[in-house]
Structure 1
Amino acid sequence: MTLTAQRPVATSRRALVFGGGGALAVLAALLAAVAAWHLSQGTSGVGAGDLLAVITGNGTDDARDVLLGSRLPRLAAGVAVGLALGVAGVLLQTLARNPLASPDTLGVTAGAYLAVTAAAAFGIAVPLWASGLLAFGGGLAAAGIVLGLAGGAGTSTTRLVLAGSALALAFQALTSALLILFQEETKGLFAWGSGSLSQLNLDAAMRALPLIAVALLLALLLASRLDVFMLGDDLARSLGVPLGWTRVGGILLAVTLSAISVALAGPIGFVGLCAPVLARLSARWVPAFEKHALRLPAAGLIGAILVLGADAILRAILGAAGAVSVPTGVATTILGAIVLVALARGLRGGSARAARVREAARSARRFWVTLAVLAAALVGVVLLGALAGNRWLLTGDIALWIQGAAPPPIALALGERVPRVFAAILAGAALALAGGITQSVSRNPLADPGLLGITGGGGLGAVIAVTAGFGNTAGIAVAATVGSLLVFALVYGLSWRGGLSADRLVLIGIGVSSGAVALTTFLLLRSDPWNTPAIYTWLSGTTYGRTFPQLLPVLVVLAVALPLVLGARREIDLIALDEDTPRALGVGLERSRLGLLALAAVLAAVSVTAVGVVGFVGLLAPHAARALVGARSARFLPTAALLGAVLVGVADAVGRTVIAPAQLPAGLVVALLGAPYFVWLLWRTRDA
């Protein structure tokens, strides 16, 4: 009886493995088909027939040179990168017990890219294998920070993705600063930073593939532990799985694979998210993929198919010559953004409990004293901004300028500086107010207009205007505003499923924002090369060349928004509590939330017209305001606006003086100043 009972089990297991093996064979065949299509594409006149003749030994020397010198290196790089990122994504999703964990959402690729860029910027000449170690160190540091500060394995999906995305923003800002400051040393790294399969020869891919194979083999040795790990810490521990060593080993393997990918082809976006998700969804038809022994190689094959397919589709749409300037990572990022949005739309129910910063109640006297101090600081910032620059001025020069009696050099300097100062402080106030509204309405202390796609939409709209030939001030302002509002409408519409989940809103915002950034990169790389530096600097946040008429929209929107926000202070405070309390007290929850988010979108949009794309202000200023005056919206929102104005004003002054006569965009200075505070903020709000 026992033997009879065991036989069906053994048979079913055999069938399960066979089914998985057959599915892997299908994936391998599909990869071969995509690879053949990929090989047939290129800028030369060598076609599929010519390549087939080379393979059979009858081809011409020219066709052989094209195959060995261009087509095969690109193909091998695509296969290596796809395999590495697919396997790395499975490991990170399992160890974080989070379906949205990946090398991108944990900041691994951003950390690796920063490490490689820093080495190039500071003239550190390293061989290829050493660049891989640099990428590994940067990626490991990023993963450690995000997992440690977000709360480790099992943390909430929204919190993990927000922490990784925001830390990636900080790393990207540092990378952008290096690209701007060391243009000669880092030439070519901007396009590479979006993920490029272009290779000089087969050597790099041939060195990477054995390392990827070894890492995959080691990951397969962990497969049975990973299966048990998914059941939870207590059960896994009771079954004898060493949790600590499993986590450490798996994360080291994932970061190693991600670093190999970055060193070979730059940061190829979102393959590490898409491939594991597709492998997991395939388990509905291939149950064997539930086991990591088969899911790991399946995700690797799917990753390779995605990378080669994205590259081939890009060439098919744009033509081989047109696709040369567009990195493959742009196409994979757009695909990954779609997958992230689709997964986020699958979230059901209300918002999960958000990690909150518990602030003690503050007195009214403290609030008014804080406002007075910040107002005085703002006056000081205006004065500093007018005096600081390539040539420092005196306060007497300002007095002469106001009277119209300043010498021409001083009048010229102040005529250029003063509008920039007011552009910075007005945009900073608008961004901070938008961030405070967004955090309260979404009930998530790590949300800001940038992570909800609003500023990314504004940047995309502005770049569309420039590349379409409407690069004047009015054209950029209108396009940026329309882009921000359209992206906000898209995010809100996709987030609505019989109601609005705050977690779903944030995750979809991150996905749409990533897609907008990828499209912006696409347009930037295909634009007139003479416009590229100016556009890139504007996307990094700059006040250069601003005039007073350009600031009027920001001033008007702020003047209207602040009274509206103070008038809605009761609704904001109630919405910030939970879903049920506002309804119980007669607040029209959805109507109020939509109106407040729309107001935040308009504030962020007009700030983009004034200073370009500036991040972190809407994240940091509201937190600092709550720490100073408490969490009541009537107090912390005005305080946040003043703090934002001071922060961006100081950043603009620093950016104009620290490397004078060269200048650093204010947005990058804000990110550099805000990154340490953000790390502290993550630690302070980590889940228990």
Structure 2
Amino acid sequence: MARKRFQRFLLVSMVLFILIVVAFFISMNLGTYPLSPLDTFKALIGSGTEEGSLVLFSFRLPRIVLALLIGTGLAVSGAILQGISQNELAEPGIIGINAGAGLAVVLFISFFEGSTGALGFLSVFAMPFFALLGALLAAFLIYVLAWKQGITPVRLILVGIAINAGFNAVLIIFQLRMEPNDFMQATIWLSGSIWGANWSFVLSILPWIVILVPFTLWKAQHLDVLNLGDQVATGLGASVEKERRILLIAAVALAGASVAVGGGIAFLGLVAPHLARRLVGPSHHFLIPTSAIMGALLLLTADTIGKNILAPSEIPVGLVVSALGAPYFIYLLMKTN
């Protein structure tokens, strides 16, 4: 049985990886400045035109890599939150973690005047830390307010929704006090926009993904035990609250870093783990890597659609994901007892 699950996991991963490669090359070719497959290949090997190489290496490739990294981070964060809460509706954008990270980044933009502010180049790398602080604050409030002789799935979701509404209200207040340019930047970013399409933003999020995703895989067995329920997990010798807090911090850090460079992209952390669970089952040893690949594929596809469907105008990727994810969320609400 275990061998069959592993074989299914390998097959699903291979198919998803092939789809990512296809989406990768399609995204490289499409855009306001069209590149044919031959032009793209020549640019990749260094024999293309100067304009083609500039478009590919300075704009499209960093944006594609960012989409893959952000999709991975949000999907794994959602898988962790669903595991530790034993709630299929848990997701960083729904329970307020994205809103907390967004508030911190908006405050950063307000006080440091965006990426051209007082910190200069270092602001690119400071933003994920500010986002992490905001996400940690949201997670702390959710955890404390939801605690009542333990954490129940219903209380976690309800408190998270309330925290999400509160942070969004504060966000609007600070946005109204911004300068017009900063206000527009914050509005587009909060809609979910991979606006930092350069290699500096890739470097700012890369360490978080490279460190925390393998760490989550290492903790996959603990997530499986937590899914059995607090009483059973305690009976098996697990330190339930300790492991829950550690995994919550990992989920918050992944979501915060992703929000810092990708904005308020909701529903991705909900949809990707659910689709992965349908394909490979509930075991987190298979669920987490499949969720990561699925999240990367979904966000890259959504970003390709958003920047090309109304070209030269661009739809924020967060709106495309929401348009696809909201119906699925309603479907899950109708299914959930």
Query: TM-score if structure 2 supplies the norm length?
Result: 0.92
Determine whether 1:495 maps to 2:138. Answer: no
The aligned counterpart of 2:118 is none
CA-to-aligned-CA distance 1:60-80 (integer Å, 9 cap, x gap): xxxxxxxxxxxxxxxxxxxxx
Alignment partner, residue 651 of structure 1: 302
- Per the alignment, in what secondary structure is the counterpart of residue 181 of structure 2? coil
Letter of the 2:76 counterpart: L
Task: Specify the code of the residue in structure 2 equivalent to 1:436.
Answer: A
Q: Distance in 2 between matches of 1:375 and 1:529?
A: 42
Task: Work out the CA distance in 2 between the residues paired with 1:650 and 1:512.
Answer: 30
Which residue in the other structure is 1:258 paired with?
none
* Aligned AA (2:90): A
Partner in structure 2 of residue 598 of structure 1 = 249
Which of 95, 100, 103 lines up with 1:457 in the alignment?
100
Q: Output aligned runs, 1:439-588, within 5 Å.
A: 439-472=82-115, 473-588=124-239
Conservation of the 8 A alpha-carbon contact between 1:462 and 1:479: yes
The 8 Å contact of residues 442 and 503 in structure 1, kept in 2 or not, is answered as: no
Q: Which has the higher contact order (CA 8 A, sep 6+)?
A: 2
- Displacement of 1:493 in angstroms is 2.7
Q: 1:474 to 1:567 in 2, by over 3 A?
A: closer
1:371 matched to 2:13? The reply is: yes
Equivalent in the alignment of 2:71:
428
In structure 2, list runs of 5 or more residues that go unmatched.
116-123
Amino acid at match of 2:52: I
Distance in 2 of aligned mates of 1:678 and 1:490: 24
Q: Which residue of 1 aligns with 2:336?
A: 686
Instruction: Tell me the amino acid that sits aligned with residue 371 of structure 1.
Output: S
Look up the SS of the partner of 2:207 in the other structure. helix
Task: Give 1:505 shift.
Answer: 2.4
The structure 2 residue matched to 1:668, chosen from 297, 319, 322, is 319
C-alpha distance in 2 between matches for 1:481 and 1:412: 33
Alignment of 1:406 onto 2:48: yes
**C-alpha distance 497-374 of structure 1, shift in aligned 2 (>3 A):** same
- Is structure 2 residue 37 aligned with structure 1 residue 387? no
Q: 1:392 to 1:362 in 2, by over 3 A?
A: farther
Of 393-402 and 490-499, more deviation after overlay is shown by: 490-499
CA contact (8 A) 1:438 1:597 kept: yes
Letter in 2 for 1:478: F
Give the structure-1-normalised TM-score.
0.46
Distance 2:19 2:94 in 1: 29
Identify which of 14, 39, 45 aligns with 1:397.
39
2:283 maps to which residue? 632
Name the structure 1 match of 2:121. none
Structure with max Cα Rg = 1
Q: How does 1:87-486 map to 2 (within 5 A)?
A: 363-414=5-56, 415-472=58-115, 473-486=124-137
1:495–1:505: 8 Å Cα contact kept in structure 2?
A: yes
Is the 2:125–2:204 Cα contact (8 Å) retained in structure 1? Answer: no
Identity of matched residues, %:
34
Decide whether aligned partners of structure 1 residues 362 and 534 sit closer, same or farther in structure 2, where only a CA change above 3 A counts. farther
Please give the secondary structure, in 2, of the residue aligned with 1:448.
coil
Question: Are the equivalent residues in 1 in contact too, given 2:75–2:291 (CA < 8 A)?
Answer: yes
Q: Alpha carbons of 1:545 and 1:451: their partners in 2 closer, same or farther (altered >3 Å)? A: closer
- Contact 2:81–2:92 (Cα < 8 Å) also in 1: yes
Partner of 2:119: none
Q: Deviations over 1:419-476 (max 9, x none)?
A: 1111111100110000011011101111101122111011101111111134123443
Question: What SS is found at the alignment partner of 1:543?
Answer: coil
The CA deviation string for residues 41-72 of structure 1, in whole angstroms up to 9 with x for no partner, is xxxxxxxxxxxxxxxxxxxxxxxxxxxxxxxx
Deviation string for 1:349-408 (max 9, x for gaps)? xxxxxxxxxxxx973221110000011111112212211111321222222222333223
Shift of 1:575: 0.7
In structure 2, relative to structure 1, the CA distance for the partners of 1:432 and 1:567 (3 Å cut) is: same
Residue 569 of structure 1 aligns with an amino acid whose one-letter code is A
Pairs aligned (count): 326
Aligned to 1:392, the other structure's residue is in SS state: coil
